[in-house]
Structure 1
Amino acid sequence: MTDTLDLIVIGAGMAGINAAKKCSKAGWSVAIVDELPYGGTCALRGCDPKKMLRAGAEAVEAARRLEGKGVTGETRIDWPALMKHKESFTDPVPESRESGLKEAGVRTLHGRARFTAEDRIEIEGHGEIAFRHALIAAGAKPRPLHFPGAETLIDSTDFLNLAELPRRIVFVGGGYISFEFAHIAARAGAQVTILDRGARQLKMFDPDLVDMLLERSRAAGIEIVAEAVPESVEDADGTHHVIYRTAGESHAIEANLVVHGAGRVPAIDHLDLAAAKIEIENGGVKVTPWLQSPSNPRVFAAGDAAASPGKPLTPVAVFEGKIAASNMLNDKRTEPDYSGVPSVVFTIPELARVGLLEEEARERADVEVSFTDTSGWFSQKRLGESHAGAKIITAKDGQILGAHMFGPDYAELINVFSLAIKLKLTAAQVKAMPAAYPTRASDIGSMF
């Protein structure tokens, strides 16, 4: 490839694919490269396959909750069959994504990429390519862990491809990955422990509702150890001995599998960014508010690879990719709007939030906070669910500033509040919505 491309995109996930298609549609010569199968983390190694496995856990949990309430008989997870169900979605994704890109006129490349100059990139198996613009959308990878035996841990990708589920599992870290996978594994019959070095788990979520989740997790058989610092993982006769320290004392726990759930960082180490004068900030590609590298204006970044204000979430990657593409095409400085982006921990039941936390809101202005324990409501009663709650935060003028929920199907309900925050609706306007009854949405008016 000797001609200069208008755009080279690094990373075939949601940010990269959306940007590549948009620029190609506008008439640019575009190529996209990834060393992994096309589709990105969400479709292949994260959100989607996780929820495919969660479907089995949900079914088992639903049957258990209604035991003695009209449902009888043992329900269990056939892990290999559940994994095949997951693969029925993930297996076709790479070919489908690549075909869609080709149909859009994008050249698809495979291999590891690295910058060799401010306007050049070398791709394994394809040589050096010159470009007018580049978009770094390389996603994220597990955070490096530094203790003896850390290399024996599997990551989230490996967990989502387990042929069999081990009997005893330890998750290192107290974030999304650990809690979501722990809830799946526990319903599948595994003995599960979460070791978190922090005093508070899931720090980005409302602490009152996190406490509810911790109670519900323990009720599901999940052991959670806070302020547990991993010291080492030792292998003996096929068993992992996990040594950790709490309150100055060392403890040990045995496991058949230890899973890395201690966070992720931008996957940009291999790109040789210094060769292209691209700066790094907070571990990601340093960008202006409009997603452009200040040190190399040819280059933009989006999604998990960018050190932008956006959270590492799929919808953020999608709109950052599109905005970066628009700014490149039109030489604009449009900034992404991060308001109203919801976030969910897909435990059983799920924990959801959108907007400000209570402590954040109180720092900015006088607010009204409505916290409601909804565990006794009809919506939970009919499912046999024991834990649920909602916290809605509004300004004095009634504008909704934040919504936080823990309960069955609240991942869907949070989208109503996402729209409310995006459109700056007031509590009165949201309450005026006539919802079908009895549905989750019909509960909204009683939450604040």
Structure 2
Amino acid sequence: MPDAYDLVVLGSGTAAQVASSRVRAAGWTVAVVDHRPFGGTCALRGCDPKKMLVSGEEALDAVRRMRGHGVEGDVRIAWPDLMAFKRSFTDPVPQKQEKRYCDQGIDAFHGLARFTGPDTVTVEGRELKARHVLIATGARPVPLGVPGEEHVATSDDFLELESLPARVAFIGGGYVAAEFSHLAARAGAEVTVLQRGARMLPKFDPDLVGWLMERFDELGVDVRTGAAVNRVEKTGQGFLVHAVADGREQTVAADLVVHAAGRVPDLDALDLAAGGVALEGRRLRLNEFLQSVSNPRVYAAGDAAGSGPPLTPVSSHDAKVVAANLLEGNHARPDYRGVPSVAFTVPPITTVGLGEAEARERGLRFRVKSARVPQWFTARRLAERIYGYKTLVEEDTGRILGAHLVGPHADEVINLFALAIRHGLTAADLKGTMFAYPTGASDIGYMA
């Protein structure tokens, strides 16, 4: 006889943790399944370990900026020690997570889950019968579709490097390429970025990205845009990455080649057809309640759902929506208004709400405030030359439509603009707020 549960959760990341805890608290029987260490992408292979490493380059960058302004001496990143610092956070996560499940009365299964029917999954030969299934398996790197892609490391691999190779090439130009190229370059590597698109960080405002690119140049990162990789070749000395840009062949020699070309929902191993779970391309076909349109027993959340931006707070939000619909019937819908996004370069670049081009496409009437402001105190006290903003304010209502920041504290200040967008605050509301001074937030009144 199969083990029977009210809910079987596939995955153990943020969405899985939130949804399983909520339905278990309501008295449901719950099982969680993962073939990787428990904790999910954010805690083990994404946001958190990445930010632990960024702490090292932030410290190094601060010393370099303040040299000649009262700080003396040379500093460098000791890669093995920085990795050990990262592991001081990540290593305890799986055991802590399993204990949390155990303490809550949630059964944890290790292994690769796959559907065997509309209400059954198997894990290592053990069958679990489920009244409902939540797919929260996260995302995986999108296939590159080029010869030699088996030689390309993932971002997961990069985060586990015991030593940093001398030459690193990144395929792609989004978050991973931007963040890791800054880190690797500051740690002493020779870094090349091969981006198929016309610019780095396409999800961020192009003007602000342009300002940030000066830091890439200062770090010596060789960014090649319009470069389509068509082959990765293993050699006796490392790898050769072959690309075409402007009709001309380019070749980059590297000791490590890293996939930074985007991710897709991680669904291939689940045998969705056996569960009657329909796909649309590479994505699950879901209704407005994050429920499978073909198998109503099944819901999805986070990156696996692919409904909202691929960010940790979205995973948590989706999980709360799913839990509410499981417990009370379909009524809750995800609301992705005002979700901020940050690329943790140093300095960071951020965005929330509408971009300028998108607002114009929608036919909205708005005013734009934009300036590069290294002379403001926030930047001056840190000897940081890259600091600027762009805000979009609706003409008739004064509501904040979008905000885009680059520079010190941008990763924190953007949350206040997110609050304004989600709750309909106006530029006047922000200007009328007394923020602590001098802080990054105290600049908001001049930006809105």
Query: TM-score, normalized by length of structure 2?
Result: 0.98
Does the 8 Å CA contact 2:4/2:128 hold for their aligned counterparts?
Answer: yes
Alpha-carbon separation, structure 2, partners of 1:330 and 1:64: 56
Per the alignment, residue 357 of structure 1 pairs with 355
Alpha-carbon separation, structure 2, partners of 1:97 and 1:374: 44
Map 1:260-271 → 2, pairs under 5 A: 260-271=259-270
Map 1:75-154 → 2, pairs under 5 A: 75-125=75-125, 127-154=126-153
What is the aligned-residue RMSD (CA, Å)? 1.0
Alpha-carbon separation, structure 1, partners of 2:59 and 2:219: 14
Shift of 1:201: 2.3
Per the alignment, residue 322 of structure 1 pairs with 320
Alpha-carbon separation, structure 1, partners of 2:230 and 2:405: 35
Per the alignment, residue 14 of structure 2 pairs with 14
Alpha-carbon separation, structure 1, partners of 2:171 and 2:445: 39
Does the 8 Å CA contact 1:115/1:273 hold for their aligned counterparts?
Answer: yes
Per the alignment, residue 295 of structure 1 pairs with 294
Please tell me the residue identity of whatever aligns with 2:28: W
Structure 1 spans left out of the alignment, 5+ residues: none
Alpha-carbon separation, structure 2, partners of 1:148 and 1:285: 28
405-414 or 360-369, which deviates more: 360-369
Please tell me the residue identity of whatever aligns with 2:352: V
Shift of 1:63: 0.7
Per the alignment, residue 413 of structure 1 pairs with 413
Does the 8 Å CA contact 2:244/2:250 hold for their aligned counterparts?
Answer: yes
Does the 8 Å CA contact 2:195/2:225 hold for their aligned counterparts?
Answer: yes
Aligned length: 446
String of CA shifts for 1:344-374, please: whole Å, max 9, x gaps.
Answer: 0000100101111111112221111110212
Alpha-carbon separation, structure 1, partners of 2:239 and 2:233: 6
369-378 or 424-433, which deviates more: 369-378
Alpha-carbon separation, structure 2, partners of 1:132 and 1:51: 38
Secondary structure, aligned partner of 1:148: coil
372-381 or 178-187, which deviates more: 372-381
Alpha-carbon separation, structure 2, partners of 1:351 and 1:282: 31
Does the 8 Å CA contact 1:303/1:321 hold for their aligned counterparts?
Answer: yes
Does the 8 Å CA contact 2:119/2:131 hold for their aligned counterparts?
Answer: yes
1:218 maps onto 2:217 in alignment: yes
1:156 maps onto 2:155 in alignment: yes
Does the 8 Å CA contact 2:178/2:200 hold for their aligned counterparts?
Answer: no
Per the alignment, residue 368 of structure 2 pairs with 369
Alpha-carbon separation, structure 2, partners of 1:359 and 1:247: 26
Secondary structure, aligned partner of 1:217: helix
Per the alignment, residue 383 of structure 2 pairs with 384
1:202 maps onto 2:221 in alignment: no
Shift of 1:282: 4.1
Alpha-carbon separation, structure 1, partners of 2:56 and 2:4: 49
Alpha-carbon separation, structure 2, partners of 1:273 and 1:170: 35
Please tell me the residue identity of whatever aligns with 1:46: G
Per the alignment, residue 329 of structure 2 pairs with 331
Shift of 1:307: 3.4
Secondary structure, aligned partner of 2:182: helix
Per the alignment, residue 251 of structure 1 pairs with 250
Alpha-carbon separation, structure 2, partners of 1:278 and 1:150: 30
Alpha-carbon separation, structure 2, partners of 1:403 and 1:307: 24
Per the alignment, residue 71 of structure 2 pairs with 71
Please tell me the residue identity of whatever aligns with 1:145: L
Does the 8 Å CA contact 2:11/2:33 hold for their aligned counterparts?
Answer: yes
Alpha-carbon separation, structure 1, partners of 2:10 and 2:326: 15
Alpha-carbon separation, structure 2, partners of 1:204 and 1:273: 31
Query: Structure 1 residue runs of 4+, over 6 Å off?
Result: none
Per the alignment, residue 176 of structure 1 pairs with 175
Shift of 1:3: 4.5
Secondary structure, aligned partner of 1:53: helix
Shift of 1:333: 2.3
Does the 8 Å CA contact 2:5/2:129 hold for their aligned counterparts?
Answer: yes
Secondary structure, aligned partner of 1:199: coil
Per the alignment, residue 43 of structure 2 pairs with 43
Please tell me the residue identity of whatever aligns with 1:195: L
Alpha-carbon separation, structure 1, partners of 2:313 and 2:306: 16
String of CA shifts for 1:249-274, please: whole Å, max 9, x gaps.
Answer: 11112111111101111110010001
Please tell me the residue identity of whatever aligns with 1:17: Q
Secondary structure, aligned partner of 1:131: strand
String of CA shifts for 1:164-199, please: whole Å, max 9, x gaps.
Answer: 001111000001001100011111111111000111
Identity of aligned residues (%): 51
Does the 8 Å CA contact 1:45/1:157 hold for their aligned counterparts?
Answer: yes
Secondary structure, aligned partner of 2:371: strand
Per the alignment, residue 402 of structure 2 pairs with 402
Alpha-carbon separation, structure 2, partners of 1:442 and 1:55: 24
String of CA shifts for 1:312-338, please: whole Å, max 9, x gaps.
Answer: 000000010111011011112210111
Please tell me the residue identity of whatever aligns with 1:52: M
Alpha-carbon separation, structure 1, partners of 2:78 and 2:199: 34
Match of 1:344 among 333, 342, 345: 342
236-245 or 267-276, which deviates more: 236-245
Structure 2 spans left out of the alignment, 5+ residues: none
281-290 or 15-24, which deviates more: 281-290
Does the 8 Å CA contact 1:286/1:307 hold for their aligned counterparts?
Answer: no
Does the 8 Å CA contact 2:170/2:177 hold for their aligned counterparts?
Answer: yes
Alpha-carbon separation, structure 2, partners of 1:211 and 1:280: 38
Does the 8 Å CA contact 1:245/1:251 hold for their aligned counterparts?
Answer: yes
Alpha-carbon separation, structure 1, partners of 2:4 and 2:44: 31
Alpha-carbon separation, structure 1, partners of 2:3 and 2:343: 46
Does the 8 Å CA contact 2:192/2:222 hold for their aligned counterparts?
Answer: yes
Shift of 1:129: 1.3
String of CA shifts for 1:99-140, please: whole Å, max 9, x gaps.
Answer: 111111111111000001111111114x11111100000000
Alpha-carbon separation, structure 2, partners of 1:206 and 1:130: 47
Does the 8 Å CA contact 1:283/1:307 hold for their aligned counterparts?
Answer: no
Query: TM-score, normalized by length of structure 1?
Result: 0.98
